[in-house]
Structure 1
Amino acid sequence: MKKIYVLDTNVLLHDPNAIYAFEDNDVIIPAVVLEEIDTKKRNADEIGRNARYVSRLLDGLRDKGRLHDSILLDNGGTLKVELNHRSFSRMQELFGESTVDNRILAVALNYYYEEQENPNPKPVVIVSKDVLVRIKADVLGLRAEDYLNDRTVGLSDLYAGYFTLKVHPSVIDEFYSYRFLPVSAVSTYTSLYPHTFVILKDEMGSSKSALLKVNADGKKLEPLYLSNDPVWGISARNAQQRMAMELLLNDDVPLVTLTGKAGTGKTLLALAAGLMKVEDERKYKKLLIARPVVPMGKDIGYLPGEKEEKLRPWMQPVYDNLEYLFDTKKSGDIDKILAGLTSIQVEALTYIRGRSIPGQFIIIDEAQNLSRHEVKTIVSRVGEGSKIVLMGDPEQIDHPYLDATSNGLTHVVDRFKSESLSGHITLEKGERSHLAQLAADLL
């Protein structure tokens, strides 16, 4: 049976092509949604870009007919800009104030009551990324759903970049004898992608173990090439950090993704590897470190000073790690060092979009706050001879329209997991302090 889907504004601002995601069902856009989109179209950020895209998309669909009379979409569904089901009288009893959210709910509620008068009523579903709108819909007796079309696998099922396998001890002995294993030796346990790490443990219960990595063509398990020697004074403190460092220092892996909770060492490891590659080995011309500016409080425009002063609060975590790596003693020393080292650039992500970036070691911190479109824009700009590292915590998102499974970082992890040019590691053990680890786990 066909359904009627009433879309909230945030769905269209999150995915401008959402109108095509409901197959052959009826899609309703309340008129108030158009008003709200109109207020966003002048924004210079991703939300403004999506608002302008939606406006152009709806304008193009006018060629098919009058939008308020319902038009047929290419996927067999219909689209209608609703002007008539706006009565607020039924909503007045529960939600007195005529807010934008309540007006959208009123449209869905009026459709629901209208359908109940038909012999075979269509289910009416309101689609919103706003939790409170879905709760209000439930109070009204309406069916409500989150927009799930752009989600990857659940966070618990996200590719971790490594597996721990229990095998017969003869398999571990074979690896140490020949220094490699065919993937077929363990493929019965799980499917393995290029650059996947494997921890082999003795299924008989002994302490015998081995740490291996799938090679680029996905056919052999090989030992790690790097020892655990310090890199700019930083040594891996656990198996996952050692795996991450292996990927970060491998010039044949131009895309590396790192996920993990706060304190697992993502930023410090990436900066140490970048400094070695740029300053010591001269493999890359420049180390470029960037973060998206997604404020948790006041926007950047309200802070005093010039661009550099405005950006400093958002970039401070990067400077903190650089101060540790350079072992600075006084406040302001790191600024003098970076002024002398023109090969290191700390920048807000806003100022690198649109550039072509060849021959650079690029670190994008807090990448979980990027949308799919933004992360595509950034990765597709990586020039010849560059390496890009995307890292962040998918459970710590400040962007209003993203969540743990719909952000750009998890999208890249899922889509690139089988590619030989990329590698991924999920860091699990916090190394900042015991308190920091407890906070990450308990709070």
Structure 2
Amino acid sequence: MSKIYVLDTNVLLQDPNAIYAFQDNEIIIPAVVLEEIDSKKRNMDEIGRNARQVSRFLDSFRLKSKLHQGVVLETGGTLKVELNHKSFVKMQEHFGEATNDNRILAVALNIQTEQQEMGNGRPVILVSKDALVRVKADALGLHAEDFLSDRVVHEYTNLYSGHLKLPVASAYIQAFYENGRLELTKGFPKTGFYPHQFVIMRDELGGSGSAIGKVSADGKWLETLRRDEDQVWGIKARNAQQRMAMELLLNNQIPLVTLTGKAGTGKTLLSLAAGLHLIEDERVYKKLLVARPIVPLGKDIGFLPGEKEEKLRPWMQPIFDNLEYLFNTKKSGDLDKILAGMGSIQVEALTYIRGRSIPEQYIIIDEAQNLTKHEVKTILTRVGEGSKIVLMGDPQQIDHPYLDESNNGLTYVVESFKDQKLAGHVRLEKGERSTLAQLAADIL
């Protein structure tokens, strides 16, 4: 039996293609949803772009048939703009105020009542990204669901970590140290590795032998870490995952690196140290460009006084904190003098790098978990020839209203590029900031 799905505004504002995600079922868009989308279409951000895209979709459907009567979609289902079930009478005794959310609930409730009166009517399901709307629906006896089709992984714990622990015979570990690599296609106790994936080998009999190797780009060899004990700009890896991260960050043959992990695991510090080494010491790249999305309580930074650099400073302060540590500055203002003298380090908001072509640069995008799939695609397609880009963040700390740990841009890139030779990924697990910081990250 086909179903009737009533869509909340936030579903369409997050993913305009959600219209095509319900197969051969009927999709209902309440009239109030059109009003909310219309109010967002002038926004100059991702939500505004999605609102305009939804508007274009609906306009193209309008040319095929009347939306209030229903339009047949390519998926075999139908889409309908609902005008006849807006009565608020049934909602009045439960939620008296006619807010937009309650008006959407009223449409779904009235359609459900109509279907139930038919005897063998179809199930009605309200689809919303708003948890409180789903709670209200449940209180009204409506079946409600989150929109999950945009999720890259169903659970964050299933996200590709970039490394695995593998029990092996001690002979494998010994051969690895003797030869500097192992052939994975001949008798290795596991198959199906990803390019640049890290393997922590441990003695399967419980012995003390262990080793860390990296899968070659072609997936045939497990190789030793080339940067295993290097100290870079005074920074030395403190744990296994940081050693893996350094291996990827310092390898200019891997132009895309993604790092995930809780606060304090060293993502930003390691990336900056590696970037400075490759630019100032090895002269591989011409410039270090550091950027992060501006997602405070409000996205606009125009209300702050001063020039662009002064406006950016509060949002970029975490970057400057790490640079002060790397340059070992003692006094206020010393870092600004160093950066002005070097000229090879540029700190920007993502607002100012969109639309640019960026060749021969080491690019660090911090807090990438606050990027949408479209935004991260826009950034990656601007990377010029000879550049390297590092995307990092904590998918469990998201400030964007329509993103979560399973559908954000960083998660999207990690999963999409895990089998590509040009990309590498590591999930950092152990906090190195302080004992208190690690404890807070674990229990709060």
TM-score range, shorter chain: over 0.9
Question: Any stretches of 5+ residues in structure 1 without a counterpart?
Answer: none
Is 1:211 the counterpart of 2:184? The answer is no
Q: Distance in 1 between matches of 2:37 and 2:307?
A: 31
Mapping 1:424-443, distance limit 5 Å: 424-443=425-444
Aligned to 2:85: 85
SS at match of 2:305: coil
Aligned to 2:136: 136
Q: Which amino acid aligns with 1:38?
A: D
Deviation by residue 1:194-221 (Cα, 9 ceiling, x = unmatched): 1000010001111111111100111110
Aligned to 2:103: 103
**Displaced runs of 4+ in structure 1, greater than 4 A?**
none
Is 1:279 the counterpart of 2:266? The answer is no
Deviation by residue 1:301-344 (Cα, 9 ceiling, x = unmatched): 33222222221111110010011111111112111211122111
Is 1:50 the counterpart of 2:41? The answer is no
Identity %: 71
Deviation at 1:297, TM superposition (A): 5.4
SS at match of 2:211: strand
Aligned to 1:390: 391
Tell me the number of residue pairs that the alignment of Structure 1 and Structure 2 aligns. Answer: 443
Mapping 1:195-206, distance limit 5 Å: 195-206=196-207
Q: Which amino acid aligns with 1:82?
A: E
Q: Distance in 2 between matches of 1:119 and 1:186?
A: 63
Deviation at 1:119, TM superposition (A): 2.9
Deviation at 1:345, TM superposition (A): 0.4
Deviation at 1:59, TM superposition (A): 0.8
Deviation at 1:178, TM superposition (A): 2.0
Q: Distance in 1 between matches of 2:142 and 2:183?
A: 55
Question: Any stretches of 5+ residues in structure 2 without a counterpart?
Answer: none
CA contact (8 A) 2:125 2:145 kept: yes
Aligned to 2:165: 164
Q: Residues 195 and 206 (structure 1 numbering): CA distance in 2 closer, same or farther, change over 3 Å?
A: same
Q: Distance in 2 between matches of 1:423 and 1:324?
A: 26
Deviation by residue 1:158-210 (Cα, 9 ceiling, x = unmatched): 11000111111111122122221111357543531110000100011111111
Aligned to 2:4: 4
SS at match of 2:425: strand
CA contact (8 A) 1:171 1:185 kept: no
Aligned to 1:25: 25
Aligned to 2:345: 344
Deviation at 1:279, TM superposition (A): 1.2
Q: Is the deviation greater in 279-288 or in 392-401?
A: 279-288
Q: Is the deviation greater in 177-186 or in 204-213?
A: 177-186
SS at match of 1:193: coil
Q: Distance in 2 between matches of 1:182 and 1:227?
A: 20
Q: Residues 189 and 66 (structure 1 numbering): CA distance in 2 closer, same or farther, change over 3 Å?
A: same
Aligned to 1:174: 175
Q: Is the deviation greater in 76-85 or in 305-314?
A: 305-314
Deviation by residue 1:383-417 (Cα, 9 ceiling, x = unmatched): 11000000000000000000000000001000100
Q: Which amino acid aligns with 2:162?
A: G
Q: Which amino acid aligns with 1:431?
A: E
Deviation at 1:226, TM superposition (A): 1.3
Q: Which amino acid aligns with 1:76?
A: G
Q: Which amino acid aligns with 2:132?
A: L
